[in-house]
């Protein structure tokens, strides 16, 4: 039976990098988990076992370290662009390179009421993300975002007017806890990438904008709040043209204390992870 190789790529995953940058009087700390994927002329490696066009993934790992040492970039987006340029310039058999990075958050310790210049602690499970790709002799494509951002509001959230049938047990409410773990991704316009924008500044402002919308929004559903957050991000800047949001509904279940002769006016809950609702959407400009 005749077959053919339709699509393939390969690379190195979960390359961990801790980068310490020493300044006069303080240090900066970056922790990255890097994935580098290559597409190109690799068919004979699959069909004939010919490795003459294969850059070993161990070499790719070492390249991640060397470019992290040499780059002047202060953002994960800038570093990813330098890494891709390094690979493409030296490997004509590679038609496209993609770099995916998670940046793990460290914040300075507070000592004697002040941020300490050389001691750090993990801020949260939140990670900053980027996916950068470029074909040979083409422009960069960049999608950045965040993941693992745990947020919760204790007011301005309800859920009413939904479908009810013989299997419905969920009571309507106009006052509930709304907890979620946000994954957000936004796609930069070609013009903004070419302009060499400050990716760290844009990320900070988009994050703050979406969090402010979450806190202030009078939520009738997770869907409505998710849409409002994406809408506010696009209204905040013209440097992006699309926002994807994934917001699971992390339920907090009100405990029935009547059997103990006590009322529970939205006071004591059980936080649950499973099962949970899954809500996602992509918001774009019209």
Q: What is the 3-state secondary structure (H, E, C) of the chain?
A: CCCCCCCCCEEEEEEEEEEEEEECCEEEEEEEEEEEEEEECCHHHHHCCCCCCCCCHHHHHHHHHHHHHHCCCCCHHHHHHHHHHHHHHHCCCEEEEEEEEEEEEEEEEEECCEEEEEEEEEEEEEEEEEEEEEECCCCCEEEEEEEEEEEEECCCECECCCCCCCCCCCCCECCCCEEEEEEEEEEECHHHHHCCCCHHHHHHHHHHHHHHHHHHCCECCHHHHHHHHHHHHHHHCCCEEEEEEECCEECEEECCCHHHCCCCCCCCEEECCCCCECCEEEEECC
Burial class for 178, CB neighbours closer than 10 Å (0-12, 13-18, 19+): buried
Active-site positions read: 12, 57, 251
């Amino acid at each position: 039976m005749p077959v053919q190789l339709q699509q393939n790529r390969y690379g190195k995953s979960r390359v961990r990098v801790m980068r310490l940058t020493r300044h006069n009087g303080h240090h900066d700390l970056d922790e990255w988990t890097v994935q580098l994927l290559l597409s190109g002329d690799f068919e004979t490696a699959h069909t004939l076992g010919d490795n003459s066009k294969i850059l070993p993934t161990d070499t790719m790992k070492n390249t991640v370290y060397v470019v992290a040492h040499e780059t002047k970039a202060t953002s994960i987006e800038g570093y990813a662009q330098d890494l891709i340029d390094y690979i493409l310039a030296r490997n004509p058999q590679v038609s496209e390179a993609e770099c995916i990075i998670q940046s793990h958050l460290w914040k300075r310790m507070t000592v004697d009421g002040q941020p300490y210049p050389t001691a750090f602690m993990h801020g949260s499970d939140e990670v900053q993300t980027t996916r950068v790709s470029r074909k040979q002799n083409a422009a960069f494509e960049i999608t950045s975002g965040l993941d693992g951002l745990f947020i919760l509001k204790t007011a301005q959230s309800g859920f009413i007017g939904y479908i009810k049938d013989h299997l419905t047990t969920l009571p309507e409410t106009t006052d509930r806890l709304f907890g979620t773990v946000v994954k957000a991704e936004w796609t930069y316009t070609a013009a903004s990438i070419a302009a060499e924008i400050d990716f760290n500044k844009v990320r900070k402002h988009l994050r703050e904008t979406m969090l402010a919308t979450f806190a202030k929004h009078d939520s009738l559903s997770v869907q409505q709040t998710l849409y409002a957050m994406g809408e506010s991000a696009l209204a905040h800047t013209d440097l992006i043209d699309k926002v994807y949001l994934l917001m699971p509904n992390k339920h907090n279940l009100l405990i029935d204390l009547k059997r103990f002769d006590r009322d529970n006016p939205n006071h004591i809950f059980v936080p649950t992870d499973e099962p949970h609702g899954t809500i996602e959407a992509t918001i774009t400009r019209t």
